Amino acid sequence: MKVDITQYDTNEKSTWCPGCGNFNIHLALKKALVELGKQPSEVVLSFDIGCNGNGGDKIEGFRVKGLHGRSIPFAVGAHIANRKMTVIADIGDGGCLHEGVDHLIHGIRSNYDITVLIHNNENFGLTTGQITSTTKEGKAMYGFPNGRTEGAINIGELVLSLNPSFFARGFSGDPEQLSNIIKSGIKHKGFSVIEIVQICPTYNPESSLEILKGKISQTESTNDIDLARKKIKDTEKIYTGVIYTNSKLKDYYSNLENRKNRKSELVDEVKNYDIMNILSDLQ
């Protein structure tokens, strides 16, 4: 059955600031899902807490919104239960690199077949612009009027240090390219991390199209990790595109001996167990 982009629309009104990068991120995500022919009923979207997470009621699909920093484990659970679903974890740089950084690290190590969209606006947006670990060193922010003191984390460097199977970087100012990147991430069998350089007109106006013009450079995917690292560390250019893939790494499920050659999904198998005995034991 053909899918139309309006099937992903909801009637909820947006609470994002005018010009927020989240508008284009949602557009790119919807476009990617439609072009892959995915119906909303075939998609699980796990949302986090924050401005990014406030998009949770503005797109159709099976949606879950959990605790701050936990969109990855909810997504992993959904994927393990039913591999037929396309599973996306949506999260801010704050939730991903502070509250939930353990989930990012172990998700990459385990290589679950899901796609993670990190909205990197370089601040805790919803709580009015506190510093996160991606805020540039020296930048003055709410609570740090004299500028942040520590150096910033480079998301790509962190991800590439963990032997990932997929790392890409998109830009909210280029929804067309971002949509293609998201499609590649969904098609990749493994844990696809997509960092999105996000325009936040209120707290991170330095990521505007005008300012980044000339810095952003589209690149081709490589499986040479040293080359990928070089691109990521470049201070003159911000490389966007699928930056690194390693398709030799098996995804988590394919490594499970006891699930080999199983055609059924856990979500169906669980229906074959009568849990009344367990429940009556508890009474």
Ligand X SMILES: Cc1ncc(C[n+]2csc(CCOP(=O)(O)OP(=O)(O)O)c2C)c(N)n1
Q: Which is nearer to ligand X, 115 or 245 (CB)?
A: 115
Judged by CB under 6 A, does residue 175 bind ligand X? no
Q: What is the 3-state secondary structure (H, E, C) of 170-225?
A: EECCCHHHHHHHHHHHHHCCCCEEEEEECCECCCEHHHCHHHHCCCEEECCCECCH
Using rule CB under 6 A, residue 119 touches ligand X = yes
Q: Does 126 engage in binding with ligand X (CB under 6 A)?
A: yes
Stretch that binds ligand X, among 125-133, 143-151, 167-175, 217-225 (CB under 6 A): 125-133
Residue placing its CB nearer to ligand X in the complex, 140 or 227: 140
Q: Is 101 helix (H, G, I), strand (E, B) or coil?
A: helix
Q: Minimum Å distance from CB 212 to ligand X?
A: 18
Q: Which of 61, 73, 94, 173 binds ligand X (CB under 6 A)?
A: 94
DSSP 125: T
Interacting residues with ligand X between 28 and 87 (CB under 6 A): 49-52, 68
Q: Residue-wise over 153-192: b if at least 16 C-beta within 10 A, else e?
A: eebbebbbeeebbbbbbbbbbbbebbbbbbbbbbebebbb
Q: How many residues bind ligand X (CB under 6 A)?
A: 18
Q: 195 has which bridge partners?
A: 118, 169
Contact call for residue 93 and ligand X (CB under 6 A): yes
Q: Using the rule CB under 6 A, which residue among 29, 79, 88, 99 binds ligand X?
A: 99
The four Cα atoms 194, 200, 203, 207 give a dihedral, to 10 degrees, of 70
Closest approach, Cβ 217 to ligand X, in A, equals: 25
Binding footprint of ligand X on the chain (CB under 6 A)? 49-52, 68, 92-95, 99, 119, 121, 123-127, 132
